[in-house]
Amino acid sequence: MNETQKDILKYWYAWIYEQDEDETLMAQYLLDQLGPKPLRILEAACGGGKLCLPLAKAGHQITGIDQDKYMLDHLHRKAAEHSNIQAIQMDMLSRPWGSGYDAVILGANLMVNIVTERDSKCAQKNLLERAYDALKTGGRLFIDYDCPLEVSKWHPAINEWVCFEGTDDHGTHGRYVVIPGAASDRTRVISGSRRWEIIPLEGEPFTYTEKRHQYFPALEQTCAWLYRIGFTVESIGGGYQGEPFDNQHRRAVIWARKTIL
């Protein structure tokens, strides 16, 4: 993929994600949990701001970090009238996040979708360490991610499926296709790939395929990391509407508090 194609693909993907992905339920849940008192909040991988923008609108002071310029462009456009939100473009695993935050948000399934060259377990643990460093003592960490009992049963699709399809405002038509691969219950790794099929308004159609290895930490693993780093786990749920974390409800919704200096 050349630079022009990369630009077209990334613009299209950020546009379609903005159109098609709905994080309203999670945003409302966060608003309820954080309460009305204005807080200093950091969201890692804020993207187009579906979570952090409602928090800014509710009066919280927001810092969002994300490495994707195209995603951040959506946040900048939507946040133009809000002076209490700043977005910083950076790889969240390579630069410091600042400190003294009341809350850090690792939402929208970030734990299993970190873009990195590193081993995903190391990256996940490092994400939690960075959240710890960014929080003030007593500050709260929010994590939510898909946490299947057996990863082999999580994505039972044998055939590839279209996750996003549509035409952006530049006239580029695209499809984002998920291609299932192997899933190991022993390692909790799902391997597969993603294919972007892009038809620009002008120029040749092209495709781009990326391999993915997603490690899905068990709840026990994530909690062990949190305790080792210095957090206390305060609550674990299975969804945003008070569901318990059980065999039916496997969206791990975790609140932890920074307790050790």
Ligand X SMILES: C[S@@+](CC[C@H](N)C(=O)[O-])C[C@H]1O[C@@H](n2cnc3c(N)ncnc32)[C@H](O)[C@@H]1O
Question: Which residues contribute to the site for ligand X (CB under 6 A)?
Answer: 23, 45-51, 66-68, 71, 91-93, 108, 113-116
Q: Which residue is nearest to ligand X (CB)?
A: 47
Of 23 and 168, which has the nearer Cβ to ligand X?
23
| Smallest distance, ligand X to C-beta of residue 260, A | 26
How many angstroms separate the Cα of 77 from the Cα of each of 10, 91, 125, 185, 186?
A: 17, 21, 32, 42, 44
Of 66 and 102, which has the nearer Cβ to ligand X?
66
| Smallest distance, ligand X to C-beta of residue 17, A | 6
| Smallest distance, ligand X to C-beta of residue 34, A | 16
Of 73 and 227, which has the nearer Cβ to ligand X?
73
Of 119 and 185, which has the nearer Cβ to ligand X?
119
| Smallest distance, ligand X to C-beta of residue 30, A | 11
